[in-house]
Amino acid sequence: MRLLKWLVIGLTATLIVGVMAITFVIVLRLSSPAPGLPPLPQAIDLPDGAVAQAFTQGRDWIAVVTQDDRILIYDRASGRLRQTLTIAP
């Protein structure tokens, strides 16, 4: 019985340490930005009347989907509008 008692105590301690380690790793991973992703721009100038609905980015471009069914593609380095695509109904 003593052996069983110490095995249960050891298992409990191992579980507590394991849960604490997993919690620590999750908090550490969620608090740091993902490696290799380019930084987000500070601001993007949208045309008059355009309201952003979605945002995505590539290596050298940024795309904004507007509520009026347009995709605005901007150059990452200069911030100028590269291309405008209209989504057909």
Query: Which residues, in sequence order, are CB contacts of 73 under 8 Å at separation 6+?
Result: 61, 62, 63, 81, 82, 83, 84, 85
The number of folded domains in the chain is 2
What's the rounded mean pLDDT across residues 44-64?
89
Q: What is the pLDDT of residue 14?
A: 98
Q: What is the pLDDT of residue 5?
A: 95
User: Is residue 38, in this structure, part of any structural domain at all?
Assistant: no
The residue written with tokens 């990452």 in the block is: 76
The residue written with tokens 């380095």 in the block is: 77
At residue 14, the 3 state secondary structure works out as: helix
What's the rounded mean pLDDT across residues 6-13?
97
Q: How far apart are CA 62 and CA 27, in angstroms?
A: 29
Q: What is the pLDDT of residue 39?
A: 73
Q: How far apart are CA 86 and CA 66, in angstroms?
A: 10
User: Is residue 13, in this structure, part of any structural domain at all?
Assistant: yes
User: Is residue 37, in this structure, part of any structural domain at all?
Assistant: no
Mean pLDDT of the chain: 89
Q: What is the pLDDT of residue 7?
A: 96
